Amino acid sequence: MDMNAPVGANALDAERIVGKPLDRIDGRLKVTGGARYAYEMQQDALYGFVVEASIAKGKITSIDTLAAERSPGVKLVLTHRNAPKQGTGNHREAHPVLTGPVVSSYGEPVAFVVAETFEQARAAAYLVDVKYDPKGGHFALPQHLGLARVPHQADGAPADSEVGNFSGAYASAPVQIDVSYGTPLQSHAMMEPHATLAMWDGDKLTLHTANQMLNQGQRVIARTLNIPIGNVRLVSPFIGGGFGGKLWVNADAILAAIAARYLKRPVKVALTRQQIFHVTTHRSDTIQRVRLGTDRDGRIVAIGHDVFSGNLRSEQVYEAAALQTRSLYAGSNRLTRHRLVPLDIPVASSMRAPGEAVGLLALECAMDELAEKLKLDPIELRIRNEPAEDPERHVPYSSRHLVACMQEGARRFGWNRRNPVPGQVRDGQWLVGIGMSAGTRGNPLRFSKANLRLDPDGVATVRMAMTDIGTGTYTILAQIAAEMLGLPLERVQVDLGDTIFPEAAGSGGSFGAASSGSALFEACQALRQKLATRAGMDPETARFADGRVATGERSINLTELVGSGIEAEGEISPGRNNQDLSQQSYGAHFAEIGVDQDTGEVRVRRMLGVFAAGRVLNAKTARSQAIGGMVFGAGAALHEDLVLDPRFGYFVNHDLAEYHVPVHADIPPNIDAIFLPELDERSNPLKSKGIGELGICGAGAAIANAIYNACGARIRSYPITLDKILTDLPKQS
């Protein structure tokens, strides 16, 4: 169906199974090692190892592969000299590899060594002798803002938006805030490295690969390898995290495919942790200017957000950090602009909540600065600027309960105990502060299909080319099917992660659960129709429960109706609802932190997120998702910082020892996520919204605002490490 109108009451509303805090149905497989990931498939494959370019820009003048080829176990050394010609496009359309001799960014694969064992391949990779003619390039975003241009991202929102007269209204606003914030380069740092096993059967290619969006991946691989899309099969039943780093096809998949075809044997490759930082994508750093003009009561009359980000010069993807500013607060004069700086660095692309994750780090701290200037409580300031409709597009919100989130959070967190004057609360050596932030994230719906089959043994099987990247997709799909068909959860089998199944959106952009779940919902509706018809019942009134379909006094076991098996298909399309409505999920973040009075070390003491995100499909996995996002937000605020060395055009700290993400000791036991009851009749048939990214959106700003409240240090450059706080600390006695 096309999502064009409110869905009204439906069979999910009973919430007998949907919404319950059920354990993951694949949990046992995962903790016992039974869930097999791409690199664990097929033991008789050859192993590949990537040789990365050690320059950022220039030309390969020679590659000596002789020593590598003679090294024990080596079967093949691929370079640009023997790699096939491949299809081209931006990083979302194609991923040609070994295209040399030109090197466009640091770490780009310049050779691929295949051997009998991983160790042999790696040892030989070090023997490949590549000589370069390096050229200078543009690497550091802040140094090249003068080269910024308006990006044209085909699949993204427009780079600019303007409503009313921003500059006039801002200039005459009695209260003004004009602040610039910087966020650093970041890397996804998911647990499972990018990995692929490639196998050819004649012209047909099968890739076991860690990829979040299999149908998209299938198209990219077909285009890159110049083969029909029908000849490409992607299999990815289990993925060890992605955060956007596996949305697109990466070099591992293409290199393995080319080598396997060449050698006529399966080839597998996993990137090493160090390689991931350059060979795959990252999040661009941003420089953001936020301008807020209000009347004396704090009502916004002008709101402006300008964003610079960078990318490899051939790419158009920008960090859409002003996106949330278009719909979060009221105000009749508005201006948002994104500018992209062409650089000679690896491709920047989506990382968890692209746009909002870093945009809110600026906007929500600017709001805190504004509240202080107005001597208003930060929550009160936000309530005064709660819009009645989308202030730019002038369309209604599908649902919006931001104020309720802030109020419920304030009550639970003890917000009334906050001293608005910084530096007043101490606990031993700790300066203690609390802060809050609003959170929001776009809620898209994407085309998806599902196949559902009920067999004579009473087991329903769901099939779709959906992925579960650790979020709990298997479980929520089983819950939907069980609820709709009136079956116990254990009688639903969910098969995902294979392009032989019906096309699905995949996991990304917070659209996975809604898109795949809605397609399955439609398949369930269709199957109910068929079953009720076979039972001679009215599909509208037939009740599905306890493995039976019933109407009035009459009740029939479903297994009596299925014959040799009965199937139905379902599909969902976004329809007009993305245009006619402003659709976001909302939340409010609260944080209490301590700043060491001597060293400036920051420790998070408490975190709370209160969210309104439509129907919660599984209270347990939803809470895990939200808390995971909040931890991600803590990392963004305090730790994550991929450092570029402009002399070499590379990321210096490309390992997990020095690219810091939070460890257990950084996250307090007192962390919680609450979902307010909400059904969004206009989002999708499940009445749900995406929650995979909402947890990160605003979490870091709440921490930054708490740091200011603790010690008066307003740090506008993330991450907030102790060196930036030191000068604001009290003198030692």
Closest to 10 in 3D by CA, of 637, 716, 686, 721: 686
Kindly give the interhelix angle for 251-263 and 214-225, rounded to the nearest 10 degrees: 50
| Contact (Cβ atoms closer than 8 angstroms) between residue 53 and residue 108 | yes
| Contact (Cβ atoms closer than 8 angstroms) between residue 46 and residue 73 | no
By beta-carbon proximity to another protein, the closer residue of 154 and 665 is 665
CA distance 574 to 683: 9
User: Which DSSP category does 600 fall into?
Assistant: -
556 forms beta bridges with 549
Closest to 361 in 3D by CA, of 635, 572, 164: 635
User: Which DSSP category does 578 fall into?
Assistant: H
Closest to 316 in 3D by CA, of 150, 437, 482, 433: 150
Residues making contact with another protein (CB under 8 A): 54, 72, 119, 122-123, 126, 272, 274, 429, 598-601, 603, 638-639, 643, 645, 647-648, 652-655, 657-658, 660, 662-666, 721-723, 726-727, 729, 732-733
Amino acid at 500: I
Look at residue 566 and give its three-state secondary structure: strand
Look at residue 286 and give its three-state secondary structure: strand
CA distance 408 to 731: 38
By beta-carbon proximity to another protein, the closer residue of 99 and 272 is 272
| Contact (Cβ atoms closer than 8 angstroms) between residue 428 and residue 449 | no
By beta-carbon proximity to another protein, the closer residue of 538 and 655 is 655
114 forms beta bridges with 48, 76
| Contact (Cβ atoms closer than 8 angstroms) between residue 524 and residue 452 | yes
Q: Which long-range contacts (CB under 8 A, 24 or more apart) does 25-31 make?
A: 25/474, 25/475, 25/478, 25/489, 25/494, 26/238, 26/468, 26/474, 26/475, 30/238
User: Which DSSP category does 147 fall into?
Assistant: G
CA distance 693 to 586: 11
CB atoms within 10 A of CB 360: 32
CA distance 332 to 337: 17
CA atoms within 13 A on the CB side of 89: 17
Its sign, for the CA torsion 239, 232, 477, 588, is positive
CA distance 340 to 286: 10
Report residue 287 as tokens: 């420089």
Which residue in 356, 392, 522, 693 is the catalytic one?
693
| Contact (Cβ atoms closer than 8 angstroms) between residue 559 and residue 456 | yes
Alpha carbon of 91 to those of 94, 313, 317, 348: distances in Å? Answer: 6, 12, 9, 10
Q: Tell me whether residue 468 is exposed, middle or buried, using C-beta atoms within 10 angstroms of its C-beta: 0 to 12, 13 to 18, 19 or more.
A: buried
Bridge-based pairing of strands 448-454 and 286-294 is: unpaired
Residue 445, Ramachandran bin (φ over 0: left; ψ between -120 and 50: alpha; else beta): beta
C-alpha of 169 from chain center: 36
By beta-carbon proximity to another protein, the closer residue of 427 and 723 is 723
CA distance 257 to 335: 46
The reply to whether 389 belongs to the active site is: no
| Contact (Cβ atoms closer than 8 angstroms) between residue 600 and residue 729 | yes
CA distance 83 to 71: 20
What's the closest the beta carbon of residue 722 comes to another protein, in angstroms? 7
What's the closest the beta carbon of residue 273 comes to another protein, in angstroms? 10
| Contact (Cβ atoms closer than 8 angstroms) between residue 710 and residue 431 | yes
CB atoms within 10 A of CB 670: 11
Q: Tell me whether residue 160 is exposed, middle or buried, using C-beta atoms within 10 angstroms of its C-beta: 0 to 12, 13 to 18, 19 or more.
A: middle
Element (H, E) at 620: helix 619-638
Amino acid at 628: G
CA distance 94 to 625: 31
Question: Which are the catalytic amino acids?
Answer: 693
